């Protein structure tokens, strides 16, 4: 009996392409992963040809979904950036997933077409009461770290919380939550999120290999995000925390429009440069009528774990002043702490693994302010009826 992968390949051999050859003969297909009825692969083309190949991706997806035994398919159209494009050496280097590092920046995303907001705004997700974005204009300021620990803090307040990684270019949640497994299908084309610390979690990183060198193009960003929002069994949630990609380019703007957001939490480090980016982030959310729930000052005062000396490596208090200036709530400070970095990068977020420590408390205080800003109530505990 032919394997599922062979059957998928057979179907793909009848998909036409602008090259005039069937898709399987173009050399543009990645390795095809076919497991338990779930099929994932990518089609990599030159950046200039993306438009012409989007319809091929759609045809390929249709063909795969029509293959007997396939329950879900996720097919990415990715583009290789042409080398030696006239920029700096760094700009012409092959695209690579950026390593997470303090202050690390990421290249701006390609602008997807049609980023205008529809008249009624995007539709909500059934069962999800509030969706909030954790964002910043700048990369590497701790959005993902704050998103995970904020979600855990909201959970500790009795809310039912889920986390969505909207960072399609460089997903962080697989690492921050030490998730290696792939999502299971929940019948048809729906996926079951991975559950960690009692919270459903979804990330594109669960579906593609970590080292895949690619830049995801605008249309693919949107379809991947839409799938993760609407084709995942999130269940009933009081709050979905969305870990946003860095920047305020059109791709981020489109995401802010695509996801029905109740509010945005802006993360900034205390220094002026980061605050300028935070300001841009706030302006972007205001532009699309998303309320700003407030600013978090991350990597605030550093307290030496050995001698207890305080030093303001990136300054201190800048985000609070900026919040006051802009008339948005200040949600709290998270210190620059080796512990937070080590625990985050080891997939053991502090709120879950050191719940009695001062850092967990800082995140829970922030969570309480976010909850108050959202005005969501924790669900009443179900009544237990003891039958006589």
Ligand X SMILES: Nc1ncnc2c1ncn2[C@@H]1O[C@H](COP(=O)(O)OP(=O)(O)OP(=O)(O)O)[C@@H](O)[C@H]1O
Sites of contact with ligand X (CB under 6 A): 100, 102, 104, 106, 139-145, 167, 170, 172, 246, 298-299, 334, 336-337, 340-341, 344-345
Cβ of 48: how many Cβ atoms within 10 Å?
Answer: 9
Nearest-approach distance from CB 336 to Mg ion, in angstroms:
17
Name which of ligand X, Mg ion, none residue 140 binds, using a CB cut-off of 5 to 8 Å depending on partner kind: ligand X
100 binds, among Mg ion, ligand X, none (CB under 5 to 8 A by kind): ligand X
Q: Give the residue with the Cβ less far from ligand X, 29 or 100.
A: 100
67 binding partner (options ligand X, Mg ion, none; Cβ < 5 to 8 Å by kind): none
Strand partners, 240: 131, 162
Least distance to Mg ion from the beta carbon of 113, Å?
25
Between 16 and 358, CB nearer to ligand X:
358
Q: 41 or 206: whose CB is closer to ligand X? A: 206
The distance of closest approach from Cβ of residue 150 to Mg ion in the complex, given in angstroms and rounded to an integer, is 13
- Which neighbouring-strand residues pair with 332? 296
> 193 is in the binding site of which of Mg ion, ligand X, none (Cβ under 5 to 8 A by kind)?
none
CB of 372 to ligand X, least distance (A): 23
Footprint on this chain of Mg ion (rule: CB under 5 A): 143-144, 172
What are the helix and strand counts (H, E) for the chain?
Answer: 12, 13
CA–CA distance, 346 with 344 (Å, rounded to integer): 5
* Partner in contact with 142, chosen from Mg ion, ligand X, none, beta carbon below 5 to 8 Å by kind: ligand X
Instruction: Give the separation between CA 169 and CA 270, rounded to whole angstroms.
Output: 26
Give the residue among 198, 136, 229, 210 at the shortest CA–CA distance from 171.
210
- Pick between residue 53 and residue 205 the one whose CB is nearest to ligand X: 205
CB of 220 to ligand X, least distance (A): 18
Q: At its nearest, how many Å lie between ligand X and the CB of residue 253? A: 16
Q: What is the DSSP string of 102-170?
A: TT---PPPPPPS--PPPTT-----TTEEEEEEEE-SSTTSSHHHHHHHHHHHHHHTT--EEEEE--SSS
Tell me the C-alpha to C-alpha distance, in Å, between residue 357 and each of 140, 337, 353, 362, 367.
24, 12, 9, 9, 16
Q: Which is nearer to Mg ion, 115 or 144 (CB)?
A: 144
Which of 17, 344 has the CB closer to ligand X?
344
Query: Which among ligand X, Mg ion, none contacts residue 183 (Cβ within 5 to 8 A by kind)?
Result: none
CB of 247 to Mg ion, least distance (A): 11
Residue 367 C-beta: closest distance to Mg ion, Å:
18
- In the block, tokens 């605050």 appear at 275
Tokens of 200: 């459903």
End-to-end CA distance of the chain: 58
Output 170 or 249, the one with its CB closest to ligand X: 170
Residue with tokens 């980016």: 277
Residue 344 binding target from ligand X, Mg ion, none, CB below 5 to 8 Å by type: ligand X
Nearer to Mg ion, 144 or 258 (CB): 144
Closest CB to Mg ion among 39 and 168? 168
- Which spans in the chain are helix H? 4-12, 50-65, 89-92, 143-156, 173-176, 218-230, 250-258, 272-287, 318-326, 338-345, 350-353, 358-374
Distance CA 171, CA 167 (A): 5
The CB-of-372 to Mg ion minimum distance in angstroms stands at: 25
Q: Give the residue closest to Mg ion by C-beta.
A: 144
**With CB cut-offs between 5 and 8 Å by kind, which of ligand X, Mg ion, none does residue 336 bind?**
ligand X
* Phi and psi angles of residue 77, each rounded to the nearest 5 degrees, phi first: -95, 115
From Mg ion, ligand X, none, which one binds at residue 290 (CB under 5 to 8 Å depending on kind)?
Answer: none
């Amino acid at each position: 009996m032919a394997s599922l992968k062979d059957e998928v390949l057979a179907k793909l051999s009848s998909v036409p392409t602008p090259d005039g050859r069937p898709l399987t003969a173009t050399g543009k297909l990645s390795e095809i992963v076919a497991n338990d009825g779930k099929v994932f692969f990518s089609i990599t083309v030159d950046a200039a040809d993306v438009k012409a190949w989007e319809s091929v991706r759609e045809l390929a997806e249709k063909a795969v979904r029509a293959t007997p035994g396939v329950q879900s398919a996720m097919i990415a159209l990715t583009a290789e950036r042409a080398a030696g494009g006239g920029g700096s050496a760094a700009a012409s280097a092959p695209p690579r997933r950026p390593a997470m590092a303090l202050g690390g920046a990421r290249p701006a995303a390609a602008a997807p077409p049609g980023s205008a907001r529809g008249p009624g705004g995007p539709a909500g997700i059934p069962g999800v009461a509030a969706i909030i974005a954790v964002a910043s204009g700048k990369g590497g300021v701790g959005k993902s770290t704050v998103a995970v620990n904020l979600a855990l803090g909201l959970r500790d307040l009795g809310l039912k919380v889920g986390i969505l990684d909207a960072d399609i270019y460089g997903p962080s949640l697989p690492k921050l939550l030490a998730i290696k497994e792939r999502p299971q299908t929940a019948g048809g084309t729906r996926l079951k999120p991975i559950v960690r610390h009692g919270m459903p979690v979804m990330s594109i990183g669960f579906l593609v290999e970590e080292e895949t060198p690619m830049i995801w193009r605008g249309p693919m960003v949107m379809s991947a995000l839409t799938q993760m929002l609407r084709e995942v069994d999130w269940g009933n949630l009081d709050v979905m925390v969305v870990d946003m990609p860095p920047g305020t380019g059109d791709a981020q703007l489109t995401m802010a429009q695509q996801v029905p957001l109740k509010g945005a939490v802006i993360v900034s480090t205390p220094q002026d440069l980061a605050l300028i980016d935070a300001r841009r982030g706030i302006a972007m959310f205001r532009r699309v009528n998303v309320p700003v729930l407030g600013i978090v000052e991350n990597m605030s005062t550093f307290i030496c774990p050995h001698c207890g000396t305080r030093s303001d490596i990136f300054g201190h208090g800048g985000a609070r002043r900026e919040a006051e200036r802009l008339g948005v709530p200040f949600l709290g400070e998270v210190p620059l702490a080796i512990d937070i970095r080590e625990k985050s990068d080891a997939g053991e977020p502090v709120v879950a693994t050191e719940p009695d420590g001062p850092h967990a408390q800082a995140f829970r205080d922030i969570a309480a302010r976010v909850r108050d800003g959202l005005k969501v109530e924790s669900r009443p505990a179900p009544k237990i009826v003891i039958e006589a």
